[in-house]
Amino acid sequence: MSDNLDLLNVLLVAAIDFGTTFSGYGFAFPHSKDNEKNDDPIYLNKNWGQNLGCQSYKAPTTVLFGPDKKFIAFGFEAVEKYATLTENGEDKSYYFFEHFKMRLHSNHSEIRRDMPLAASNGKTLPALDVFSKSLKFLSDHLREAVKINTGTEIEASSIRWVITVPAIWSDAAKHFMREAAYKAGIASLDQRKHLLIALEPEAASLFCRQLNVSKFREDTDKPQLLQMDPENCYMVVDCGGGTVDVTVHKVRDDGSMRELHRPTGGPWGGTKVDSNFSNLLEQIFGKDLMNEYRRKFPRENVQLMADFEMKKRSAADASVQLNYCLVKFLESTLSQNIAAIVSDSRTEGVRFSNGLLRLSKEVMYSLFQPVLEQIMAHIQSLLTNPKLRNIKTIFLVGGFADSPLLWKAVVAAVPDRKVRVLVPEEACLAVIKGAVMFGLNPNAIRERVSARTYGVRSMTTFIEGLHPPQKKVVAHGLVLATDIFNNFVGVDELVELQYRRSLEFKAVRDDQRSATVYLFSTSERDPQFTTDHGMSLCGRVHVDMPDTRGGRERVIRVTFIFGGTEIDVQAEDLTSHMRAFATIDFLTKHNP
């Protein structure tokens, strides 16, 4: 990267946990007076929703835009305003977005800079605008909180920002979040090091490692620090609203961490359980009626789902409040009292009494079961890998980890192993607090496992019988084979932080002022050509070459840097010994 931001120059580490269902932020001031133990205090905002009579460390990841496509509100306020608009029949020309982070849980090729995002009413806005306005609201809110805390406004050049993303996201999804942050005024292309992308389970790993054992919900050991000695291996299962992210770490001799397996996971988050509950209501009362209720009484529906959100944290029978409008709407439409409607649905384990929809523990488990089975199967599959046989601890984090049913399922997934499954008391805050820790020490994870094979296209001397005839070309009097895949990093290869691979090329014109280098990737281990099945153009590097004095004798070296949470790139004009400005773009899809 072209800019430099050493921690010595950082006055504030500011982290945003941008979640599928809820988002929040945290910050710390490096080198504070009470930092003798390297434990800078982490500050969180716990007053989300205060204006609406509630207090929370996180706000719903919901955003509202007006008919003019301008930002109106985020979080609890967006939900409240949109509910009022809907109840007054004024919502048709507005744009309300929720759970939109899942749009980036897509194939690399499906994520584009100009892709649209559908609002609740089907109208669309550019996804980049929706993400950037949300990030701007959170970053402005954070900076205002810092100003209140310190009495001063910290200059942008002294802030290191951190934004969390799922570890299983593609390079394109990470790049999209980075561009959304730039558009929100968080760092910039010229000051890229002011923004770090943190992988959610890695951040949670940093948080969990330093906790006292007494800070975990399911463990009876005497209070002491976790014994994470060198060579100890552990798994982090980050269970959020949209996705479940799994990473596995091993403690190195110097106390830093080594990744043992590339990040894995899937769309098995807590919102799947919410969807199953919604489906249960439709089974009992009818899909059309429930959809009409949600349209007429959105505020009440939000309250209904919020009540279920709290009740699903129990492993026992649950009683969900059915509010006045829902009861009256169903009774007047079906000409029956609500208890009779529930009874007539013949849904086993469900009954209604005293304003409550009562669900047996068997029914509650049935809402979780499809998701739990996917999570259990995935963990069991990972544990069959010989490289992971020494895992002694599994950390469950994220909002979904508050469910005791999830904890019991994971314990059941490892019955024959001496593995303890630990849930922090602050499971839903593990990622945001860990993200701040990552900002304070970005080098805590020294080795990562590559999720894909990466390389560039090159040419070599054509060899009959080795290279396919269709790859034969003649250039400058030489017989060459084209489309050769020059492997930089292999899938599942252990890569050290700041691992570098370079290529060099000469200018093709005396006045050439820029060049493009293409990065390819595949899930295959030993690809031969950039045209192989499964190979994709994942990124393009733009290199500025402003100094033309060397003409066509100029030699440019482009260096790809692996081992971090993102792939980075640098370039140098070896003729003039000047650093060339280079950027890598994972969002432009056109083939070279």
List of residues 6+ apart from 87 with CB closer than 8 A: 296, 297, 298, 299
Whole-angstrom Cα distance, residue 327 to residue 241?
Answer: 28
Q: Taking Cα atoms as reference points, which of 138, 558, 227 lies closest to residue 422?
A: 227
What's the half-sphere exposure (Cβ side, CA atoms, 13 Å) at 472? 10
- pLDDT 10s digits, 158-214: 999 999 999 999 999 999 999 999 999 999 998 899 999 999 999 999 999 888 877
pTM of the model: 0.91
Which pLDDT does position 288 carry in this prediction? 95
Q: Where in the chain is the domain with CATH 2.60.34?
A: 450-585
Which pLDDT does position 34 carry in this prediction? 45
Neighbouring CB atoms inside 10 A of 156's CB total: 15
Q: Which of 20-24, 51-55, 514-518, 581-585 has the lowest mean pLDDT?
A: 51-55
Which pLDDT does position 309 carry in this prediction? 87
Which pLDDT does position 223 carry in this prediction? 42
Which pLDDT does position 32 carry in this prediction? 56
Identify the H or E element spanning 361: helix 361-383
Residue with tokens 């906790």: 211
Which pLDDT does position 5 carry in this prediction? 56
- 330 near 297, Cβ under 8 Å? no
Whole-angstrom Cα distance, residue 256 to residue 447?
Answer: 9
DSSP letter assigned to residue 36:
T
Residue 354 has pLDDT above 80, yes or no: yes
Which pLDDT does position 461 carry in this prediction? 92
Q: Taking Cα atoms as reference points, which of 539, 576, 535 lies closest to residue 557?
A: 576
Q: What is the DSSP string of 520-547?
A: EEES-SS--BTTSTT-EEEEEEEEE---
List of residues 6+ apart from 432 with CB closer than 8 A: 15, 17, 24, 25, 26, 44, 57, 164, 203
Which pLDDT does position 590 carry in this prediction? 60
- Strand 71-74 and strand 568-573: the pairing is unpaired
Whole-angstrom Cα distance, residue 79 to residue 406?
Answer: 28
Q: What's at 182, amino acid-wise? A: Y
Whole-angstrom Cα distance, residue 558 to residue 232?
Answer: 37
Mean pLDDT along residues 31-49: 72
Query: Helix 361-383 crosses helix 404-413 at what angle (to 10 degrees)?
Result: 40
Please name every residue paired with 126 in a beta bridge, in sequence order, or none if there are none: 116
Q: Taking Cα atoms as reference points, which of 563, 521, 555, 561 lies closest to residue 538?
A: 521
Whole-angstrom Cα distance, residue 416 to residue 583?
Answer: 49
List of residues 6+ apart from 333 with CB closer than 8 A: 289
Whole-angstrom Cα distance, residue 23 to residue 58?
Answer: 5
Reading across the β-sheet that carries 233-239, which strands appear in turn? 420-422, 391-397, 233-239, 244-251, 257-266, 445-449, 494-496
Residue with tokens 């790049």: 175
Q: Taking Cα atoms as reference points, which of 281, 306, 303 lies closest to residue 292?
A: 281
Confidence band of 52 (pLDDT split at 50, 70, 90): low
Which pLDDT does position 220 carry in this prediction? 37
Mean pLDDT along residues 409-430: 87
- pLDDT 10s digits, 502-515: 999 988 888 999 99
Which pLDDT does position 213 carry in this prediction? 78
Residue 415 has pLDDT above 90, yes or no: no
Confidence band of 283 (pLDDT split at 50, 70, 90): very high
> What percent of the chain shows pLDDT beyond 90?
70
- pLDDT 10s digits, 376-391: 999 999 999 998 988 9
Whole-angstrom Cα distance, residue 128 to residue 117?
Answer: 9
DSSP letter assigned to residue 60:
E
Mean pLDDT along residues 94-107: 92
State the sign of the Cα–Cα–Cα–Cα dihedral 210, 212, 216, 218: positive
Which pLDDT does position 549 carry in this prediction? 86
Mean pLDDT along residues 115-122: 94
Query: Helix 171-183 crosses helix 127-150 at what angle (to 10 degrees)?
Result: 60
- pLDDT 10s digits, 290-300: 999 998 888 88
Count of positions (residues) in the chain: 592
Whole-angstrom Cα distance, residue 82 to residue 75?
Answer: 11
Please name every residue paired with 117 in a beta bridge, in sequence order, or none if there are none: 125
Whole-angstrom Cα distance, residue 466 to residue 469?
Answer: 9
Which pLDDT does position 33 carry in this prediction? 45
Query: Helix 200-209 crosses helix 430-440 at what angle (to 10 degrees)?
Result: 90
Burial class (CB in 10 A: 0-12, 13-18, 19+), 332: exposed
Which pLDDT does position 39 carry in this prediction? 67
Identify the H or E element spanning 376: helix 361-383
Which CATH number applies to 450-585? Answer: 2.60.34
Which pLDDT does position 8 carry in this prediction? 65
- pLDDT 10s digits, 481-502: 999 999 999 999 999 999 999 9
Q: Where in the chain is the domain with CATH 3.30.420.40?
A: 7-209+433-440
Whole-angstrom Cα distance, residue 6 to residue 8?
Answer: 5
Q: Which of 87-91, 338-342, 522-526 has the lowest mean pLDDT?
A: 87-91
Mean pLDDT along residues 148-159: 89
Whole-angstrom Cα distance, residue 254 to residue 427?
Answer: 27
The tokens describing 532, both together, are: 């192989």
Which pLDDT does position 221 carry in this prediction? 43
Neighbouring CB atoms inside 10 A of 105's CB total: 20
Whole-angstrom Cα distance, residue 97 to residue 119?
Answer: 5
7-209+433-440 is classed CATH 3.30.420.40: yes
Whole-angstrom Cα distance, residue 401 to residue 424?
Answer: 9
Q: Cα 109 vs. chain centroid, distance in angstroms?
A: 18
Whole-angstrom Cα distance, residue 250 to residue 226?
Answer: 14
Whole-angstrom Cα distance, residue 81 to residue 97?
Answer: 13
For 556, left (φ over 0), alpha (ψ -120 to 50), or beta?
beta
